[in-house]
Amino acid sequence: MTLRPLGRWLMVDVEFRVVSDRREGLLLALGQTVIANGFTLLRQRMAGDSDGVVLTMLVRGPRTSLPPLEECLGTHPLVRSFEASRPDDTQPVVEAPPEVTEASPRRTNTLPTLADSRLIEALLPQLARDYPNIFIPLLALERELSPDQREPALRYVGQRVGAWVYKRDFALGGHLQLGDAVRHIALPALRQIVQAELHGDSLRVPNSPFCHRGQHGTCCHFLRGMLGGLLGAPHGTHGLRVIETHCRNTGAEICSFEFRA
């Protein structure tokens, strides 16, 4: 486990080796657990052996959120056993700041049902095939999800799409500082699917299709996840938090996203 101090943050890289009896829906369910606890899934691989299905995940997130993540993985119904690789526990501890501001989206630890997992895994190839014309199936998925599943599920789908777009369009570029990555990766990628503009350090979207659809609070979960997937990819900006600070769904004139690393 590698520790990465960032300001007052202490980010950790952890590799989990999970053994399960079931392959179907495993990556989606555990990916949701990783995201719900504030971590980013950097890479994963799945294989079968004599023990069952083995899923290895390299994740990155705040050190203070690691114990809850380990507890969620250890008690997850799909997990028979798991191991965490932590070679560098001797690094100094830096306290993390408060998790969210009042304007930040609510975090949930609720996981999708198996039916939701099947919907999402079936949707991902369609999104890749039809990209950038993706909002009709995404909004259909949003309607199918229960209210407590929408945020984690749409963030997960967004992160997967963002990581795919990064690898397809931007992976050959060099590592950029956060401000340059927002300007040269996030902004042009988001403009493939919605209107977007850069205002200082914030990325603004005037016409998010996720607003005013019967939800309360900020609701652009897919866009937030996609921005995280674009900038938090293995060759992008590490230790990233994407926060939707303003949303038309809460009465703001425009949806606005800020980036903190």
Write out the two tokens for 223.
């866009």
- Do 244 and 256 form a contact (C-beta atoms < 8 A)? yes
Separation of alpha carbons 105 and 221, rounded Å: 8
Mean pLDDT score, 218-232: 94
pLDDT value at residue 96: 34
On whether the CB atoms of residues 5 and 11 are closer than 8 A, the answer is: yes
Give the per-residue pLDDT at 249: 92
Three-state DSSP class for residue 245: strand
Per-residue pLDDT at 196 exceeds 90: yes
Report the predicted TM-score, pTM, of the whole model to 2 decimal places: 0.61
Selected residue with higher pLDDT from 59 and 229: 229
How do residues 134-173 score in pLDDT, each as one tens digit? 998 898 888 888 888 889 999 999 999 999 999 899 888 7
Question: How large a percentage of the chain has pLDDT more than 90?
Answer: 37
DSSP characters for 47-68?
A: EEETTEEEEEEEEEEEGGGHHH
- CA–CA separation, 113 vs 217, rounded Å? 23
pLDDT band at 242 (very low <50, low <70, confident <90, very high): very high
Instruction: Determine the Cα angle at 246 with ends 240 and 247, to 5°.
Output: 110
More confident residue, 183 or 215: 183
Is 70 exceeded by the pLDDT of residue 215?
yes
The pLDDT tens digits of the residues spanning 47-79 come to: 887 778 999 988 877 888 888 888 889 888 899
Non-local (6+) Cβ contacts of 216 within 8 A are 249
pLDDT band at 92; cut points 50, 70, 90: very low
pLDDT digits (tens, 9 = 90+) for 19-55: 999 888 888 788 878 877 777 777 888 888 777 899 9
Give the C-alpha distances (Å, rounded to integers) separating 140 from 51, 213, 224.
Answer: 38, 12, 18
Helix, coil or strand: residue 236: coil
Q: How confident is the model at residue 105 (pLDDT cuts 50, 70, 90)?
A: very low
Integer angstrom CA distances of residue 159 from 15, 107, 156, 182: 19, 15, 5, 15
Residue type present at position 91: Q
DSSP 167: H
Residue of 246, 244, 212 whose CA lies nearest to 226: 244
Residue 62 CA to residue 11 CA, distance in Å, equals: 5
Phi, psi of 239 (to 5 degrees): 65, 35
pLDDT band at 202 (very low <50, low <70, confident <90, very high): very high
Q: Does 243 score more than 90 pLDDT?
A: yes
- Other Cβ atoms within 10 Å of 143 Cβ, number: 9
**What does pLDDT average to over the chain?**
80
